[in-house]
Amino acid sequence: MTPHPGNHILPHYDLALNNIQTRVNCVCESLLEHMAVLEQVISDADMNGANGIIADNELLDEETRQLLSLCSAVLIQFHPLGSDLRLVLSLSRCTDKLRECAEEVANIARHAKASIKRQESLAPDIVLPLLNMAVSEFRDAVESLKTQDMETAREVRLRDKKLDKAHRKALGGLVTPAEAGQPSLNVNLLFIIRSIERIGDIAKTIAAAVVFLKEATDIRHRKHK
């Protein structure tokens, strides 16, 4: 998110808010880097990549916890109103979702690692298209948060319907009873695909927070907004 201009009546408020925004942007970049590694994990059964994501998750979890505490401190100390209040609430809501996203990314890495250990196929022909859709949604959602671009945010919410449809189709194909001689169902794949779908949901929620910030309208539970 673009740093808040230093025109607030309380300069310490500006410093606190700019600090939060900068750190939120860093978390977003870290998650995008992890998602890029996930593509390598799925396409090449990269155990080292999976291990790296899992190891970094604790650091991201701690960073997002600190950011949530900072948002609460700003609310308590400065009592922002109007658009300032919406900005802090949006940052807090998005940080909570970034924390969830980090856990979903780590879950994908954990289940991929389990499949690699068992020498099970990660079905890149099925998983990678879904992952690419989710990553694209997430990238645009966090960019709309950074730039406060409401139109991009609305587009992300519409695109999530395509990911939901692709997710249902992929699950349907995986749970179809196997024919004689075919390998049994890889349960880890089901969890991987579910986590990918959750990343799309998280992107949609972040996009809704941007609309809330700009329009003071909560559209999280509307179907066509």
pLDDT digits (tens, 9 = 90+) for 76-87: 999 999 889 999
Tally of structural domains, the chain = 1
Asked, for residue 222, whether it belongs to a domain, the answer is no
Residue 171: pLDDT band with limits 50, 70, 90: confident
Return the CATH number at 105: 1.20.58.220
Asked, for residue 184, whether it belongs to a domain, the answer is yes
Asked, for residue 93, whether it belongs to a domain, the answer is yes
Asked, for residue 2, whether it belongs to a domain, the answer is no
Residue 94 is part of which domain span? 11-215
Q: How far is 133 from 112, CA to CA, in rounded Å?
A: 18
Residue 182: pLDDT band with limits 50, 70, 90: low
- Residue-wise pLDDT for 99-150, tens only, equals 999 999 999 999 999 999 999 999 999 999 999 999 999 999 999 999 999 9
Asked, for residue 224, whether it belongs to a domain, the answer is no
Residue showing tokens 């749970």: 175
Asked, for residue 221, whether it belongs to a domain, the answer is no
Residue 11: pLDDT band with limits 50, 70, 90: low
Asked, for residue 6, whether it belongs to a domain, the answer is no
Burial of 49 (0-12, 13-18, 19+ CB in 10 A): buried
Asked, for residue 167, whether it belongs to a domain, the answer is yes
CB 133 within 8 A of CB 200: yes
Neighbours of 89 (CB within 10 A): 16
Q: How far is 178 from 170, CA to CA, in rounded Å?
A: 15
pLDDT at 161: 87
Residue showing tokens 């109007």: 82
Sign of CA dihedral 134, 157, 144, 57: negative
Q: Which two tokens stand for residue 180?
A: 């004689």
